[in-house]
Amino acid sequence: MCGIIGYIGQNDVAKKILHNLKKLEYRGYDSSGICLKKNNTLFVKKSVGEISNLQSKININFNSHVGIAHTRWATHGKVNVTNTHPHISQDKMWAVVHNGIIENYLEITKQLKEKGIHLYSETDSEVIANLMAISQKQNNALKLHEVTTLLHGSYALCLINAKEETLYIARRHSPLYVAHKDDACMVSSDPACFSEDFHDYYVLPDECIATVNSDGVTFYDQNMKILHLTPCEIGTFEKSSELGKYSYYAEKEISEIPHVLNDIILNYQTVDHFKHINKSFLKHIKSIKLIGCGTAYHACMIGAKYLEKFTKIEANAYIASEFRYQNPMVDKNTLCIFLSQSGETADTLLSLELAKSKGAKTLAIVNVPYSSIARNADIVLPLCAGIEIAVMSTKAYNAMLMVLYLLSVHIANINNDFSLTFPSEVKYINFFKNIEKIDEISDLVLKSDKTFFIGRGEDYVTALEAGLKLKEITYINCVSLPSGELKHGTISLIDKKSLVFVISTDEKLLSKNLTSASEIKARGGKIVLVTNLDVQDNKDVDYIYKIDRPKEEISSILSVIPFQVLAYKTCLKKGYSPDKPRNLAKSVTVE
C-alpha cells in the first residue's frame, strides 16, 4: 500500500529519494510524487503509474537538501495526479505525505472551507498540510502535535516546511521509521529501505511525533515530553531483498521454500522460541482462535486443524475483518494467535488489540520482525522466511504452516503427548516433484472457460489457497470449494469447458474425492487429480499430478506448491507481472 520516504542530506537528495521510493514499489501503488525544498520554495512533481514516469519528470541533480515522496494506493479519490501525494497547503508553506485514513477529513474540510481555504484533491490527506498552515502554535513541533489531536483514524505522516531543512513526522496505527547518521537522515514506512546506507534505525512509537534534522532526531510522546529511544540494528532480514539470478520475486520466493522450511526447523531447534509457551501459560487455556486475512487466514485454517488434532484443545480460524465485528467469545482463557506475513495488516492488528482488551493471551506468528503486530503481541514466533517482496504470498504461507506444525507439536508435548516430534527430514523431500508438468497443466487452465479447485479437510484449504493464487495474479475467475459441497449448487456450472483440480492427500478421503471426480466427469468436466497417494489410472481422471509424500503429517505444506507454480506460469503466459498484480498491495495497512 502507500509508502513514505523523507530524506535530508548534503548531496543527491532527489536521487536518494527516488532510489528508496523504488524499494517501496513491491507494496503496491497507483501513482507517486515527490516534493523538494529549494530557496524557501517547495517544488512538487507527481505522476500516475510506474515510478519511472515520475523519474522522467525530475532533474536528478536538482539542488535540494530535503524532500519527501510517496507511493499512493488510492483509497479516497480516483487515481490521478491531483490526488497523488505530496499535498501542499494553500499558503505553499507545508507539504505532506500520508499513509492511513483520516476518518474525519470531511468535517475538517468543511471547517477549512469556512476559513477560506480551498482544497484541490479528493483525498483525506490534503487537510493535514492546511491544518499545519493555520495552526497558531509557536513552533512547528507543537503545531504538528496540535494537528494530530485533531485527526481521527490512522496515519503515518511526514511533512516539510518551505523555510526549514527538517522532517516532521507522526504516526498512529500505521508504521513509520527513522534513521540518522552524520551526513544524512531518512524516514521510511518500510525499514528495509535503510539497509544500504544506515546501520540502525528507530521505530517511531505509536501516537508519537518527532522532528528530524541534521542535528538528529527528537522524539516526543503524546504530552510533548522528550523520549529517549534505543535504535534497532539492521539485520539480515532487511538486507535480503536482492533479486539475484531470478526474473521475478515470485519465482525466487517459491524456489526458496525448501530452504526456508529447513531453516525454520533448525532455527526452532536451536533457539527456544517456545520458552514462554509452557505449562503455566497453557494451564487455563480452553480454546484457541487463529486470526488472519487472505493467505494468512488459510494458514489459520490449517493451524486450527493441526492444533485441534495434536493438542485436543478446541481451535478455530477467523477472518480478521469478520472477527472484529462479531463480538468474539474471547476471555483470559482464550489463546488468540495472529498470523501475518507483513505484521501490519490493519484488520489483524486491530483484532489483536480487541483480543487484548478482552484479556486474551496473544501470540503472533509474523515474518517482519519489527512490525506492529510483532511489537504488540504477548509472544512472537518468527516465520524466518526472509523478506517477501512479491505481492502474492508464497513462501510465507508454507512457513506459516511449518511454524504452526511445530507449535502444535510443542503444545502436544507439554500436554504429555510425546508421540509427535518436529519433522527431521524435510531435506529429503522433493518439493518440486513433477514441476515441469505444470506447463502443460497451465495450458489446460488457459483453454478452459471455468476452473475449480476442490478437496476435503486440509485439501479444501489448499483448494482455497490455490484459487486465491490463480485469481490474484492471472485475473482468472475461479471457484474453490469442499468436494462435498459441489452437489449442493456449484455442480450446475460444470460443463465440457470446465477444468476441476481435485486435491487428495488423505488416504481416508480418497474414495470420496474420486466419487466427486466421477460426478464431474459425468457432466463433461476435465479432471486433474493432485495427490501424493498411490492412485491407479482411473477412467474419470484426465491427468494425475503426483507430489512427494512426506513422513510427517505436513502434506499441506507440499501440496500447495504446484498451485503456486501454476499461478506463476499462467500469469507469465498471459503476459502479466507476477510480482505486482493490479489493485493489490503487499501490506494492507487500511481496514
- Contact window for ligand F6R (CB under 6 A) among 249-257, 341-349, 375-383, 546-554: 341-349
CB of 340 to ligand F6R, least distance (A): 3
Q: What gap in Å lies between CA 72 and CA 482, rounded to an integer?
A: 38
Residue 497's CB is within 10 A of a number of other CB atoms, namely 12
Q: Which one of the listed residues 2, 193, 384, 571 is annotated catalytic? A: 2
66 burial level (CB within 10 Å; 0-12, 13-18, 19+): buried
Residues recorded for the chain: 591
CB of 393 to ligand F6R, least distance (A): 4
570 burial level (CB within 10 Å; 0-12, 13-18, 19+): buried
Residue nearest to ligand F6R (CB): 294
From residue 281, give the alpha-carbon distance in Å to each of 26, 259, 333. 38, 32, 10
Nearer to ligand F6R, 294 or 550 (CB): 294
Among 211, 342, 351, 448, binds ligand F6R (CB under 6 A): 342
- To the query of whether residue 279 is one of the catalytic residues in this protein, the response is no
**Rule CB under 6 A: is residue 159 a binding residue for ligand F6R?**
no
Among 30, 190, 238, 472, binds ligand F6R (CB under 6 A): 472
**Rule CB under 6 A: is residue 392 a binding residue for ligand F6R?**
yes
Among 31, 188, 211, 340, binds ligand F6R (CB under 6 A): 340
- To the query of whether residue 2 is one of the catalytic residues in this protein, the response is yes
Cβ atoms of 545 and 441 within 8 Å: the answer is: yes
Cβ atoms of 160 and 166 within 8 Å: the answer is: yes
Nearer to ligand F6R, 388 or 458 (CB): 388
β-pairing, 31-38 vs 66-72, is: antiparallel
Q: What is the phi/psi pair of residue 452, to 5°? A: -125, 150
Compute how many residues bind ligand F6R; rule: CB under 6 A: 14
Which amino acid type is present at position 28?
Answer: G
**Rule CB under 6 A: is residue 295 a binding residue for ligand F6R?**
yes
**Rule CB under 6 A: is residue 345 a binding residue for ligand F6R?**
yes
CB of 28 to ligand F6R, least distance (A): 10
H or E segment to which residue 107 belongs: helix 105-114
CB of 95 to ligand F6R, least distance (A): 30
Binding track, positions 96-135, relative to ligand F6R; x by CB under 6 A? ----------------------------------------
The rounded Cα 239 to chain-centroid distance in angstroms is 18
Residue 466, C-alpha cell as written in the block = 490455490
Interface of this chain with ligand F6R, residues 450 to 469, rule: CB under 6 A: 468
Q: What gap in Å lies between CA 519 and CA 521, rounded to an integer?
A: 6
Residue 236's CB is within 10 A of a number of other CB atoms, namely 9
Cβ atoms of 177 and 206 within 8 Å: the answer is: no
Nearer to ligand F6R, 392 or 404 (CB): 392
Q: Which one of the listed residues 22, 46, 580, 586 is annotated catalytic? A: 586
**Rule CB under 6 A: is residue 293 a binding residue for ligand F6R?**
yes
The catalytic residue positions are 2, 586
Binding site for ligand F6R (CB under 6 A): 293-296, 340-342, 345, 348, 392-393, 468, 472, 588
